[in-house]
DNA sequence: GATGAATGAGGTTTCATTCAT
DNA sequence: GATGAATGAAACCTCATTCAT
């Protein structure tokens, strides 16, 4: 009906949904908010998605994959450089701070919904953790760092990142997320025992 | 059902509210659920609290203070021992895992509600962070550990703890939170540079 | 419990009720408002009155009688003077403007309650009309004015008075009720054909 | 029940609302009563009106305008005849007695609601008074009647009409409003000093 | 006589979902 | 495919009334 019909109604709805959900939380977001923002209609919404729940789940899945893919690609490019794990960490932080809304949605709004989305939240977090854990493991395998519980560490890192982001969102006086990236990376890295490139 | 208990009714409502909110999330929790569980009535609920929002806020405030107090006391007792900061960390973890419901409420259910409770969530997290930051600072001051950004570290730790707890809640196959306590503590501690009691 | 216990709890409640009802209307007035303003309690209220409805009815009856009595007495004193009917009219207007709250309650708040208080409202208006009609009749009987439908005239006058009062209450820029008294009296009187004291 | 009528639903709701409000008063009228009588649904009601208050206000405004317009038109037609003011008065009375429900709503049910609808009630009465005052002024201007306070007179007349209507509604034994029309008109007219068509 | 915590029926409003067009 | 008026279950909250103290 409007301008760029190119983009496709479904995509416009999905885009609007990210904004609305990340702004108001799952329950606070009305289907009407989404249709208004996307300049579509209730009918269009329910033509493309069977329910409000379903679009939220779709969003969770999609976003995780999209971000994980972006992280993977970015690391791949950067690799070879210093400690791969450091690159991974930096990339995750950068990408999270770039996709602020999506991240907020994945880590904040998706939580606290009772048992409704437990499965999806768990999966999402797990996928991120898997990326981190994978790179940690490689670093161990190639002897860059001393062995450690990669799983626990991955979740701990994820949590640390999440919390720092949360506080930066909530605290208007906090420095922008971008500025927190470097010190946070240092902090997390410092927990690793660097195997001195012996010899 | 009768006029019993005197002050008891309000407390019973608060207790029930913790259970219901931590079980179903803020929006999923019905005022009716709370009154049923507390064996009171809608009227009693609204006599003691002006709204559903208000009891939730009251709960957030109360729980933070209660837990922070418990942590403080526990650390005080233990103090003198090894690295105080280690005691603090261990205590936090223990207490969190003991007050599972309250913690779940503070760290999970209170999030994802749009901007409704931003202020309260922020305050709650800040108070916990302040405890951790405080002990980190003392450790720095007395030369136990090398200087670092105590604030950032406090939030990172809080997030790490939170995320590990979250995953342990969500993943039925995860080991109980209690078992994760020790390794998590080690992980977090390892980020600190212990000033070798030189010489 | 409070100061002038002399006045009696029941009376304090009745006084408060006039204020609250005339301020907020019947439905808008809460039993709690009345007990708060009278510095008593729900228990006291329901000890003295079986229901909210009942105190309102009691009030209607009481006020009408009190005001009618005051009018009667005032006229009696003044009588003999000029046209009795003019004295009556002036008195009614004066007394209404003195008991603004009671009047507002009787003529405004008591209306618009569906059929609930129809009987009482009808009675109240009728009693006032009867006073006016009575004096009109006397004036006719003693030949001061030409015969006319005293009943219809009485209601018309009552309505005219009521409406002028209403507008003066609602319109903040209206001159005070007291100032409207004289011109209104003239207007109403001018509808009467004064039998020139012939001869 | 279906999607029929297009614009019809809103009008059906408005029509039903007039009936219900004039029957039960504002507070006594339930939104459910209105939806039942209009054979629609709660959803339809709240789709068209944001609140119960709002439909009531809408009704007040609409009805006044509709009736005032009808009066204006009727007078215009009749004009030229005798005293215009007499035509106006007769018309108002006729129309009021024809729109009994609407009138009841405007003059009775809208009152006694505390300060909630003061503004609207004031406006409604003012608009009616303005019509009357306007015609009175013309009569003065063209020399038909002697000068007088047109505003005060307009309100007094409105009140007289209102009260007579009210009593006729409340008193089951009262003659029908139609029969009261003529005598009331005479009464009100008799207050005017007819400038003898001199010479 | 008085208190005020407690009751619970009932009211207004919300909002995901449906469906005729 | 899209529209948006309509549905109605369900939620939050109100407030007259009760009753143990």
CATH number reported for the structural domain that contains residue A44 in this entry: 1.10.10.60
C166 and C81 share a domain? yes
Evaluate if residue B81 carries a pLDDT over 70.
no
Which chains does chain A touch, 3 or more C-beta pairs < 8 A? Answer: B
C169 and C148 share a domain? yes
The SS3 assignment for C73 reads helix
Whole-angstrom Cα distance, residue C164 to residue C181?
Answer: 9
Q: What is the mean pLDDT of residues D143-148?
A: 87
User: Residue C62: which region, alpha, beta or left (left: phi > 0; alpha: psi -120 to 50)?
Assistant: alpha
The Å distance, CA of C51 to C1' of E10, is: 18
The secondary structure element, H or E, covering residue D131 is helix D118-141
Query: Residue D80's pLDDT band (boundaries 50, 70, 90)?
Result: low
Q: Mind telling me how many Å the CA of B179 is from chain A's nearest CA?
A: 12
Of the two residues A195 and D33, the one the predictor is more confident about is: D33
| DSSP states of A16-42 | HHHHHHHHHHHHH--HHHHHHHTT--H
Provide the pLDDT for residue D83.
63
Provide the pLDDT for residue A3.
45
- Residue range(s) defining the domain that contains residue A5: 1-49
Query: Residue C104's pLDDT band (boundaries 50, 70, 90)?
Result: confident
D68 and D165 share a domain? yes
The DSSP symbol for B174 reads S
Chain C contacts of D108, Cβ < 8 Å? 111-112
D43 and D78 share a domain? no
Of the two residues A135 and A51, the one the predictor is more confident about is: A51
Q: Residue A113 forms beta bridges with which residues? A: A115
For residue D98, the domain's CATH number is: 1.10.357.10
A107 and A172 share a domain? yes
**Tokens encoding D183:** 């005598």
% pLDDT > 70, chain B = 91
Give the mean pLDDT of chain B: 85
A29 and A67 share a domain? no
> What total of structural domains would you count in chain C?
2
Q: Residue B115 forms beta bridges with which residues? A: B113
Q: What is the mean pLDDT of residues D39-67?
A: 93
Residue among A101, A114, A125, A181 with most chain B CBs within 10 A, to mutate:
A114
Query: Which residue of B24, B163, B190 is in closest CB contact with A162?
Result: B163
- From the CA atom positions of chain D, what is the Rg in Å? 19
Show Cβ contacts of residue D16 under 8 Å, excluding neighbours closer than 6 positions. Answer: D34, D35, D37, D38
B136 and B187 share a domain? yes
Provide the pLDDT for residue B52.
96
Evaluate if residue D178 carries a pLDDT over 80.
no
C82 and C102 share a domain? yes
D73 and D161 share a domain? yes
Q: Mind telling me how many Å the CA of C5 is from chain D's nearest CA?
A: 30
D193 and D129 share a domain? yes
Q: Mind telling me how many Å the CA of C44 is from chain D's nearest CA?
A: 25
D158 and D78 share a domain? yes
Provide the pLDDT for residue C80.
59
Whole-angstrom Cα distance, residue D18 to residue D136?
Answer: 31
Which candidate, D64, D66, D97, places its Cα nearest to that of D166?
D97
Range scoring the smallest mean pLDDT among B49-58, B132-141, D101-110: D101-110
A43 and A67 share a domain? no
Which chains does chain C touch, 3 or more C-beta pairs < 8 A? Answer: D
Contact D188 C28 (CB under 8 A): no
- Burial classification of residue D1, based on how many CB atoms lie within 10 Å of its CB (0-12 exposed, 13-18 middle, 19 or more buried): exposed
Other CB atoms within a 10 A radius of the CB of residue C23 amount to 17
Query: Which residue of A112, A149, A193 is in closest CB contact with B108?
Result: A112
**pLDDT tens, position by position, C152-192:** 999 999 999 988 888 887 887 888 777 888 899 889 988 88
Query: Residue B196's pLDDT band (boundaries 50, 70, 90)?
Result: low
Question: At which residue do the structure tokens 């939104």 appear?
Answer: D31
Report the nearest residue to nucleotide E21, CA vs C1'.
D3
Q: What is the mean pLDDT of residues A62-91?
A: 78
Cβ-based contacts under 8 A for chains A and B: 145
In chain C, residues 31-50 whose CB comes closer than 8 Å to chain D: none
The DSSP symbol for D192 reads S
């Amino acid at each position: 009906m409007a301008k760029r019909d190119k983009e496709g109604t479904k995509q416009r709805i999905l885009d609007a949904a990210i904004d609305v959900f990340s702004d108001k939380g799952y329950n606070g977001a009305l289907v009407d908010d989404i249709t208004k923002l996307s300049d579509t209609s209730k009918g269009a919404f329910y033509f493309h998605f069977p329910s409000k729940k379903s679009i939220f789940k779709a969003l969770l899945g999609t976003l995780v994959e999209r971000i994980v893919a972006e992280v993977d690609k970015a690391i791949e490019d950067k690799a070879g450089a210093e400690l791969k794990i450091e690159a991974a960490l930096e990339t995750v932080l950068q990408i999270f701070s770039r996709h602020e809304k999506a991240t907020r949605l994945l880590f904040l709004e998706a939580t606290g919904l009772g048992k409704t989305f437990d499965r999806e939240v768990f999966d999402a977090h797990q996928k991120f953790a898997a990326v981190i854990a994978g790179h940690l493991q490689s670093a161990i395998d190639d002897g860059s760092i001393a062995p450690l519980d990669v799983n626990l560490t991955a979740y701990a890192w994820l949590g640390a990142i999440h919390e720092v982001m949360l506080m930066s969102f909530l605290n208007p006086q906090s420095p922008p997320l971008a500025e927190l990236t470097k010190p946070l990376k240092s902090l997390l890295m410092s927990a690793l025992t660097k195997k001195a490139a012996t010899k």
